[in-house]
Amino acid sequence: MTTTFIDNQSHDPLPKVWDENTRIGDMLKGKRGLVVGVANADSIAMGCAAKLRGFGADIALTYLNDKAFKHVQPLAEQLGAELLLPLDVTQPGQMQSVFDAIQKHWGSLDFVIHSIAFAPKDDLHGRIVDCSQPGFLQAMQVSCHSFIEMAHCAEPLMNPGGALVTMSYYGSDKVVKNYNIMGPVKAALESSVRYMAAELGERDIRVYAVSPGPLRTRAASGIDHFDELIDMARTRAPGHRLVDIAEVGRVVAFLVGGAASGMTGDIIYVDAGLHNVA
């Protein structure tokens, strides 16, 4: 796997998440950031990348492996990403290589968006009390510790006012049927956000977790009986609807921009009010 420099010459139709014909403003003009987790056009990370670009930011994207490259490369070209970098957070050295490439290309960063999670199927579909130690550790590594590692690598490159953003879920705080081991994992992620915000505040680096409602992404499809979770969310949410990745992306763009300078360490729900309903 090699670093890919995007020539930005593609004229293919943009993914549906980019619903503006032109840039929607220059709120993020001059800002540069890394978006991790784009797998296809329906990824939450794709919604974030599209909106960040729409507001004028320059972005770098990652892809998991050679198999994923063919799906992510066209999206990177359509969005005008400047870099497309290989990143499997379970492989030693790949994380540092990503940030080395960014330092060489840009010299600094303004934001990092972390939108990856994983748990082995057997452990995800079983009870927490039956979860294997290897499965638990892998889920924690990919879904939680990788964000901590990204912050460690990004810190020397971050400009004042920079932001680190990860993705969580309501199951971190309440028991959600079939969410299982990912509940404790996301709880650890949210706690890490608070501690990282306290530690990095002196560097004027802000840290957030965004908590979307259930979305039909490839990662979410691994949750057992996921259709039931979708139906529950649509029924219980105040507007009886789900959110989409563009709505998540707009909130992330707000957090990355200067308008959110007075916030850090927060868990921001983007779930159409679902978390407020008993």
Taking the C-alpha atoms of residue 80 and residue 35, their distance in angstroms, rounded to an integer, is 13
Residue 274 has what DSSP assignment?
A: G
What is the pLDDT at residue 8?
53
**pLDDT of the residue at 20:** 46
- Please name the residues in contact with 92: beta carbons below 8 A apart, sequence gap of 6 or more: none
The structure tokens listed for 255 are 């957090």
> What are 63-67's contacts with CB under 8 Å, separation 24+?
63/38, 63/87, 64/39, 64/88, 65/1, 66/1
Q: What is the pLDDT of residue 12?
A: 45
pLDDT in tens, 20-31: 444 556 789 999
pLDDT of residue 236: 87
Give percent of the chain with pLDDT exceeding 70: 87
Q: Is the pLDDT of residue 10 over 60?
A: no
Query: Which of 130, 160, 208 lies closest to 31, judged by CA?
Result: 160
pLDDT of residue 29: 94
pLDDT score recorded for residue 82: 97
DSSP code for 11 = -
Instruction: Give 65-111 pLDDT, tens digit per residue.
Output: 999 999 999 999 999 999 999 999 999 999 999 999 999 999 999 99
Q: What letter represents residue 47's amino acid?
A: G
> Is the separation of the CB atoms in 7 and 77 below 8 Å?
yes
pLDDT (tens digit per residue) in 224-270: 667 777 788 788 889 888 899 999 999 999 999 989 999 999 999 99
In this predicted structure, the answer to whether residue 180 has a pLDDT above a threshold of 60 is yes
How far is the C-alpha of 26 from the C-alpha of 117, rounded, in Å?
31
212: which 2 tokens?
Answer: 């979307």
Distance (Å) of CA 212 to CA 79, 146, 193, 253: 23, 19, 16, 14
Q: How high is the pLDDT of residue 224? A: 64
Token reading at 36 = 């991790």
SS (H, E, C) 122-150: HHHHCCHHHCCHHHHHHHHHHHHHHHHHH
Angstrom distance (rounded) from CA 111 to CA 27: 14
Q: Which residues are catalytic?
A: 169, 179
CB 169 within 8 A of CB 116: no
- Mean local confidence (pLDDT), 108-127: 96
Instruction: Note the pLDDT of residue 237.
Output: 87
Query: In the predicted model, what is the mean pLDDT of the chain?
Result: 90
* Interatomic CA distance for residues 95 and 259, integer angstroms: 30
Helix locations, the chain, DSSP H:
44-54, 66-79, 94-105, 121-125, 133-140, 146-154, 182-200, 226-236, 245-256
Residue 135: which of 185, 61, 192 has the closest Cα? 185
* CATH class as words, domain 4-273: alpha beta
Q: What is the pLDDT of residue 212?
A: 93
